[in-house]
Structure 1
Amino acid sequence: MNGLTAEIRSAEGWPVPGAVLTVTDMNGRQLARAAAGETGMAATAPLPPGMHTAVVTAPGHQPVARVIRISAAGVGALGEIRLEREADAIALPPPGPWTIDPMHSTVQATARHLGIAGIKARFAEVSGRLDISGVFERSSGFAEIKAATVDTGIGMRDDHLRSSDFLDIERFPLITFTGNGFRRTGGDTWVMPGELVLHGQTRPVELSVTYGGYGPDPWGGVRAAFHAETLLHREDFAIDYNAVVRAGIAAVGTTVKIELDMELVQGEQLPTM
């Protein structure tokens, strides 16, 4: 039988194998120690009942401590523990140009449908670059998305999204973002302020960015990974389609979540594979 259990994950939600769960009593005496497996799960042997301290550690991550109550049966659960990376443990990409690889990058928009469900749309064509400065916070970036490539998996709905009710791709074929600078918010997280041009409207937008690291790829290049997201309001971009289906419930919500998963290749051009 297990004692204290924990599901240990990175800030992005990935398992952290090898993370260590240590339990001490309130006087600091160690009671148990367990390492997380490949799924990020860690479990100790049964523990003495009462209040104890649990500490989760992993190389390159900030430790997390919790006070936990162990039942009379000797068991308890921490649930999911998210570990933030230590700022000085992250190797930032080398300065210079980095080009978005559209084959390994995705842009997804999610909007509420009928107030109860989420409709996801993917944009299949994205390009751009990130110019990394010697001082990372002074880096700049540019991304361009072809509006006509919106894809929800249902042709009729996609045609509606391309129409003048929404993206109006005939008049506004491109969606662009120009970012200037980063502001650190955590060990591997930043905010990138910039301007988004959508549906002919230009608005200030801040992207919440998580850096995934960089390293060599199988084709002789070097790649870096970033995840970015933001919330948009359709009315800010003059997309005011407002069909109401019942009792004030809109067919499509006014808030749209944008998520970008980007792989970038070092250099000004993509390699030939």
Structure 2
Amino acid sequence: MTRGGTGGAGTGLRARVRTRDGWAVQHAVLTLTDMTGAQVLRATADDEGMVRTGDPLPGGSYTVIVTAIGYAPAASTLIVTASGRADAGTVVLARQGGAELPPPGTWSLDPAHSSVSAVAQHLGISSVHGRFTDVAARIEIAEDVAASRVEAVIGAASIDTGNRLRDGHLRSPDFLDVERFPEIGYRSTGLSEAGTDRWTVHGELSMHGVVREVDLNLAYLGTGPDPWGGVRAAFRATAELRREDFAMTYNQVVSAGIAAIGTTLRVELDIQAVQGERLPEL
């Protein structure tokens, strides 16, 4: 039996499936077994996490088991009255391995509250920090978290290291060559769990006319409401790139064979994403 039965009004089973944060767990599966362990009913939650069946149930004591991909199962005892109806109330599922993830759907990067930066060694003794100010991204959180996707586009000319001459050099053909390659793009190809609230995003980075596989080490920092009526999720990610992998081979050498700019870049992303296709008006 599935949700949406045709029995009389007020009969059947009702339940609400939620995360600890109160989000609906879409398409969770509820199984009802009798005291012998025999399955009596199996129903699927709708897009709002609601389970509704219409056919009356035999009175008695049952076990309710609720499961969903990525969540620990929950079990409880349920009493069905002689009227043939029962309300399991709100069933709370805990995500396996850590804190609750953002609810499934589309999320848009908020560029005003996000940063994409890179750090390179300078003269072998210090670091140069830069960031890109023109960034757009779309995140699709799937029911099966491993099937989630992200796409991002960065304006290469938006590099800002706080030094006008250095920024001009980084935009030149020696490095990003922004006239020929105005955009840096990233498209995920997979996602795998790396620990509690940590993931590895597998994807392809296109930069300077070259496409390479690049993994992001991702940490999920939490979800919550914002002052503008939206819902936000926060992430932090890091990666390491080699300039040579993207055909950026400029390598001026100073004394003792030390390169002026290191060949390895450490990329750091601090991301806030807002639920929905559009950002709220601030």
**TM > 0.5:** yes
Q: Which residue of 1 aligns with 2:229?
A: 220
Q: For residues 194 and 118 of structure 1, what CA distance do their matches in structure 2 show?
A: 27
Matched, 1:181 2:190: yes
SS in 2 for 1:272: coil
Stretch of structure 1 that moved more, 199-208 or 179-188: 179-188
1:211 to 215, 220, 229: 220
Q: Which amino acid aligns with 2:262?
A: G
1:124-153 per-position Cα deviation (integer Å, ceiling 9, x unaligned): 111011100001111000111111111111
Q: Which residue of 2 aligns with 1:109?
A: 118
Q: Which residue of 2 aligns with 1:172?
A: 181
Q: For residues 141 and 181 of structure 1, what CA distance do their matches in structure 2 show?
A: 9
Q: For residues 242 and 100 of structure 2, what CA distance do their matches in structure 1 show?
A: 35
Q: Which residue of 2 aligns with 1:93?
A: 102
SS in 2 for 1:167: coil
Q: Which residue of 2 aligns with 1:138?
A: 147
Q: For residues 224 and 213 of structure 2, what CA distance do their matches in structure 1 show?
A: 32
**Counterpart contact for 1:97–1:132, Cα < 8 Å:** yes
Percentage of identical aligned residues: 53
Q: Which amino acid aligns with 1:95?
A: P
Matched, 1:161 2:170: yes
Aligned pairs (5 A) from 1:38-53: none
**Counterpart contact for 2:115–2:131, Cα < 8 Å:** yes
Q: CA deviation at 1:89?
A: 3.9
SS in 2 for 1:209: strand
Q: For residues 238 and 135 of structure 2, what CA distance do their matches in structure 1 show?
A: 15
Q: Which residue of 2 aligns with 1:231?
A: 240
Q: For residues 142 and 259 of structure 2, what CA distance do their matches in structure 1 show?
A: 44
Alignment gaps of 5+ in structure 2: 1-94
The 4+ residue runs of structure 1 with deviation greater than 3 A are 86-89
TM-score under structure 2 length normalisation: 0.65
**Counterpart contact for 2:97–2:197, Cα < 8 Å:** no
Q: CA deviation at 1:87?
A: 5.2
**Counterpart contact for 2:98–2:197, Cα < 8 Å:** no
Q: Which amino acid aligns with 2:151?
A: F
SS in 2 for 1:103: helix
Q: Which amino acid aligns with 2:247?
A: A
1:141-173 per-position Cα deviation (integer Å, ceiling 9, x unaligned): 011111111111111111111111111110011
SS in 2 for 1:129: strand
Q: For residues 172 and 262 of structure 1, what CA distance do their matches in structure 2 show?
A: 24
Higher-Rg member (1/2) = 2
**Counterpart contact for 1:87–1:186, Cα < 8 Å:** no
Q: Which amino acid aligns with 1:193?
A: H
Q: Which amino acid aligns with 2:165?
A: M
Q: Which residue of 1 aligns with 2:267?
A: 258
